Structure 1
Amino acid sequence: MIVVSVLLLCVGWVAGSHATAGATDAFTGATAGATAGATAGATAASNYSLDSWMTALMPVIGTMSLLDLSLPGTHDSMTWDLSTTVSDGSNDLPPPIAWVLHEFHDFAPGHFIKNQSRTQGLSMTQQLDNGIRFIDFRIMYTSGPNNTASATHDWYCLHMLETNNKAMTYLREAKTWLDAHPGEMLVLWLSRHGNTCAKGNDQYPNVPDPIKVAFWSQVEALFGDLLFDEAHGLLNETTINDMRARHQRVVVYASDYARFTNNSTRAIDACLIDNQLGDSVQSENATFHTLMARFADADNIKRNDKQQNRLYLQSMAAGAPLQQLEMAALLHFLPKIAHRDNATAKCAAVFAIPGLTAWCPPTLMDISLLTNYYNQRILDAVITHNLALPNAIYIDAVDTDGTIRTGTTLLDRAPLHGANGVSGANGTTAFAYVDTMVLYNLKRACAAAQSRSSTSEVCHELPPVLEARRKSHPLQTWNDPTHGRLLGWP
């Protein structure tokens, strides 16, 4: 009963949290040294790889600003490495409850919470190698995993649970990667739970300002001159070529900006992120059409946002309905009661997908894969129906080769406890997420160059390469109503 009581405290958080918002090596295709030199024409085409896609496009994107590009990103990016310990100040939990769950971690259902919290399966380096250029970096000041709340504190990443390693560990990993890829850029958003403008305790509960500033000083010391510096001009006024000439290849958006960075010019106030959330997968019919409409209007949104120095960020992340969490908890902890109460059917009905009647997605990752199955149609329409893209997308379940998994088998890095997903013919099916966004960027940049009577070999050499890569992981739909995958719906 202690476990169930603790779980019910968590369920409210998980519902609110998600509503708002492989063990194989990553594909690189070329050594870091080779990709760094792939800068133009046939050389860029022949050496093209996901870890250096910005380098390959530089001849045509260099005169643009970063707010003219569309960056592939991940949502809750560091959840690939979650522990089973609830973080102090855990997102959307009242601080006293977060403290209790952290303090008495042995009694908290950590493995179940992890199943409802993990959205990613690739490490920081793997994400960057696979083309991700926007990182949703969520952090909180807490004592380490399996320690009491009174133990020494530091900054860890989190999504309800804290990560196994400190936040600086992952940032050092990013710095090492950037050093090996001198033609690439990275955007980081630092927040506790994806809130752009919350300040003080609303952003980082019970964390004194000097502790925030001290952490930012570590970030500044780590990245140094790589950080974009607004002292030289705003982001919407600065070309990518100018950023590269200054060696400024890391843009950091910081929530609680003034208190966190002490108004540093090497960070940008996260209030300048136009963070557009999607609807939940339980309303997929509405969600699909809402996102299609937003992508149809993305050029206008980007244009207006750029004038205000704002970054248009679109969530395509999954949401876990409250009823799914309640029923999944019953099925996990009290299967006899769940069977008596017909919990599986009640859970399935929440998603309102025709034919989905006898499967309750047991984890957030299962829901992420289901969401991606419908996301792929919207992303593919960017190329096939000339829709537009926001400045960045953050999405769940990014897989190797720059894909998003749309099948039913869970990503196998750091396997979830007692949850292996559904195998089958389409278990590991995936869609070419990054290559689709890179091709979009290339087409837009080449069209702009042509309008200036300026051409580049990359405009002729790279499109066939990207189209061929997209054909390796094309839009694929199939009829599996048992697991919510339908043909021609919505």
Structure 2
Amino acid sequence: MFWFLFLIFAFTQSPSLINAQSPQLNTSIWMEQLLPQIGNLHLYDITLPGTHDAASFIITSALSPDPAGDPLLDDIILFQIAEQFGIPVQDIIIPWAESQNRTLYEQALDGMRYFDLRAAFNGSDWFSYHFDLGLSIIEHLTGLQKFLQTHTSEILIIEVSHFAATNLTKDDLNGLRKIIMDLLSQWLYPRSDNFITINDCKKIKELL
């Protein structure tokens, strides 16, 4: 199984918003508000709220490719046969497969900071999927790009995994990498072998 783990971050110079006049957290900027409390912690010291199958808020009727790379070994063939006999498979699959009801942008506004994004390549483009295909990966990441542009104090972790494709090639994966880099490169955290604190992230951002 291939996977990517991306740490997206940016910090502002604005002070913490937690004070006597503002006792409640704003979920869209909770990391900024809690910076005095969490700034000296490592990410592994913090439990980040996240969503499972984050992109499955919209599921189409288009079947995803087989994650194992062999359509004969997948239930997809059974789904197609069932549909030919008039069995309403999609009426069962879609409600079950929709794990969320908010876009990635809205989830980020709600305070989510970890996103489980499953990616499928249909031969021409990359899409989210949960049995059936969802929206394009570009559309999903554009939503997170919008969030980072307007909420420059937060850290996001985006895991792109569970690649589904028939005969997935290196060029296909490079296409996915290009999508990610084109949309999110300015927020990607550089690779490091050291465990750093939230405040260290702020210092590194200022040097980039």
Corresponding residue for 1:39?
Answer: 16
| Alignment correspondent of 2:156 | 186
Is 2:71 the partner of 1:95? yes
For 1:24, the equivalent position in structure 2 comes to none
Distance (whole Å) between structure 2 residues aligned to residue 66 and residue 54 of structure 1: 11
Determine which of 174, 187, 190 is the counterpart of 1:226.
187
Give secondary structure in 1 for the equivalent of 2:147.
helix
Q: TM-score scaled to structure 2, two decimals?
A: 0.79
SS across alignment from 2:139: helix
Counterpart residue identity of residue 142, structure 1: N
1:173 to 143, 149, 173: 143
Matches within 5 A, 1:276-291: none
**Does the 8 A contact of 1:86 with 1:105 survive in 2?**
no
Change (3 A) 1:36 1:181: farther
- Structure (1 or 2) with the larger CA radius of gyration: 1
CA drift at 1:112: 1.5
Relative to 1, partners in 2 of residues 1:182 and 1:159: Cα closer, same or farther, differing over 3 Å?
A: same
Question: Counterpart in 2 of 1:7?
Answer: none
Match of 1:154 in 2: 125
Distance 1:85 1:44 in 2: 51
Q: Any stretches of 5+ residues in structure 2 without a counterpart? A: 1-11
SS in 2 for 1:131: coil
Matches within 5 A, 1:33-432: 37=14, 39-42=16-19, 45-46=22-23, 48-89=25-66, 91=67, 94-96=70-72, 97=74, 100=77, 107=84, 109-142=89-122, 153-163=124-134, 165-192=135-162, 204-230=165-191, 233-234=192-193, 236-247=194-205
Deviations 1:216-244 (A, max 9, x none): 122012111311111xx23x522212222
Cα 1:122–1:92 change in 2 (3 A) is farther
Which structure dedicates a bigger proportion of its chain to helix? 1
CA distance in 2, matches of 1:183, 1:43: 21
- The CA deviation string for residues 252-310 of structure 1, in whole angstroms up to 9 with x for no partner, is xxxxxxxxxxxxxxxxxxxxxxxxxxxxxxxxxxxxxxxxxxxxxxxxxxxxxxxxxxx
Once residues 89 and 69 of structure 2 are traced to their aligned partners in structure 1, the CA distance between those partners, rounded to angstroms, is: 16
Provide the rounded CA distance (Å) in 2 between the counterparts of 1:170 and 1:121.
14
Identity of aligned residues (%): 22
The 3 A distance-change label for structure 1 pair 157 and 129 is same
Equivalent-residue separation in structure 1 for 2:81 and 2:15 (angstroms): 53
**SS of the residue aligned with 1:246?**
helix
Aligned partners of 1:102 and 1:133: how far apart in 2?
Answer: 35
TM-score normalised by length of structure 1: 0.36
Q: Which has the higher contact order (CA 8 A, sep 6+)?
A: 2
Paired residues of 1:71 and 1:133 also in contact (CA < 8 A): yes
Give the deviation of 1:160 after TM superposition: 0.4
Give structure 1 stretches of 5+ with no counterpart.
1-34, 144-152, 194-202, 249-490
* Distance in 1 of aligned mates of 2:122 and 2:172: 11
Paired amino acid for 1:237? F
Distance 2:51 2:108 in 1: 10
User: Alpha carbons of 1:75 and 1:86: their partners in 2 closer, same or farther (altered >3 Å)?
Assistant: same
Name the CA distance, whole Å, in 2 between partners of 1:172 and 1:219: 10
Preserved contact between residue 60 and residue 133 of structure 2 (Cα < 8 Å):
yes
For residues 43 and 95 of structure 1, do their structure 2 counterparts lie closer, same or farther at Cα, with a shift above 3 Å needed? farther
Deviation, 1:156, is: 0.4
Distance in 2 of aligned mates of 1:217 and 1:142: 17
1:482 corresponding residue in structure 2:
none
- Any conservation in 2 of the 1:85–1:110 contact (CA below 8 Å)? no
* Cα offsets for 1:333-387 (capped at 9, x unmatched): xxxxxxxxxxxxxxxxxxxxxxxxxxxxxxxxxxxxxxxxxxxxxxxxxxxxxxx
Output the CA distance in 1 between the equivalents of 2:174 and 2:158: 17
Q: 1:243 to 1:205 in 2, by over 3 A?
A: farther
Which structure's residues are more often strand, by fraction?
Answer: 2
**Deviations for 1:130-180, whole angstroms, at most 9, x for unmatched residues?**
11111000011015xxxxxxxxx21000110110x2011010100111111
> In the superposition, relative to structure 1, how do residues 77 and 157 fare at CA in structure 2: closer, same or farther (>3 Å)?
same
Give the equivalent residue in structure 2 for 1:23: none
